[in-house]
Amino acid sequence: MTGRTAIITGVSGQDGWHLSQRLLAEGYRVVGVTRDATYARPVVDASIELAAWDFHDDAAFRELLRRARPTEIYNLAAHSSGAGMFDAPVAIGEINGLAVALMLEAVREVDPAIRFWQASSSELYGAVPAQSPQSETTPFAPRSPYGAAKLYAHTMVGIYRRHYGLFACAGILFNHESPRRDARFVTGKVTEAAARVKLGLTDDLALGALDARRDWGFSGDYMHAASLMLQADKPDDYVIATGQSHTVRDLCRLAFEHLGLDYRDHVREGQADHRAAEASPLIGDASKAARELGWNPSVTFPQLVKTMVDAHLARLSANGTNS
């Protein structure tokens, strides 16, 4: 696909890395948008062009579009996730909500032919989903500032698609992880802790409810879905999920067993890591994506956990026992 240019916001994050690697391999020119180019440079591919933008300046974004002339935009940037969905609600609203409207308006003004993809979230469905599993037609009822801002952005994508005719899509992404996930998220916390216990760097891990359930998939698979959406004949929104749920206890068991350990000897359940207003189980129905895009997840949950543990073990071993 030579001759195509993709802008990726949030390029230094987990999803940005997986998406940029896929697009670079397909011959794209990739422009990574970040609030801090100095921080991003060491963690992104050297062939990615970096552009600093604070997500508030609409004139600066329009100028970026004129300069970079993208054919596609993937908006992965988000303020606060994981345990921080209630932190800084005003900033969350500005970055996760209003900035998306700003980008869509810039596309409409500068070049309506640009294809736009938005990272929506299963947090749109809220604490008590109206149906299970959740699909594109399940009513939204967000439970946090994060979810509310994501819903505003998701709604604006639909408005710009229907009212202005933009090729604008949203992927309603359920939890997705990879070896690049850090310890702010429970998957990164558990897999890193298992590696630390194995290396003798710690002996225990305190977690919240071990029976909480999530639909966990692989970030690389989900970014493949994002790419497929912008190559489709028509724009639409899609749930991207595995359709299977696992408990935090399952996560712990798999992570520690992979290293020959019993999680029950090291994991203790407490209140320290409970998220406010803990959600009911969310399980995604991605049958529409399978039917219309030919997308299906390729990495199983046990495979995902093992690769994450191995990555933490390798990193900690390379850095020495003082890590």
Q: Which residues are identified as catalytic?
A: 121, 123, 146
State the Cα torsion 55-59-61-63 to the nearest 10°: -160
Instruction: Return the structure tokens found at 175.
Output: 């939890």
Instruction: Return the structure tokens found at 63.
Output: 């100028």
The rounded radius of gyration (Å) of the Cα atoms in the chain is 20
Nearest to 76 by CA among 141, 127, 6, 25: 6
Indicate the DSSP class of residue 284: B
Instruction: Return the structure tokens found at 35.
Output: 């609030």
Rounded alpha-carbon distances, angstroms, from residue 169 to 95, 117, 230, 235: 18, 5, 7, 5
The DSSP string of 191-226 is: HHHHHHHHTTS-S-EEES-TT-EE--EEHHHHHHHH
Contacts of 84 (CB under 8 A, 6+ apart): 146, 184
Residue 124 CA to residue 281 CA, distance in Å, equals 13
Is residue 87 within 8 Å of residue 149, measured between CB atoms? no
Instruction: Return the structure tokens found at 162.
Output: 């229907």
Instruction: Return the structure tokens found at 211.
Output: 């029976």
Nearest to 193 by CA among 258, 276, 125, 284: 258
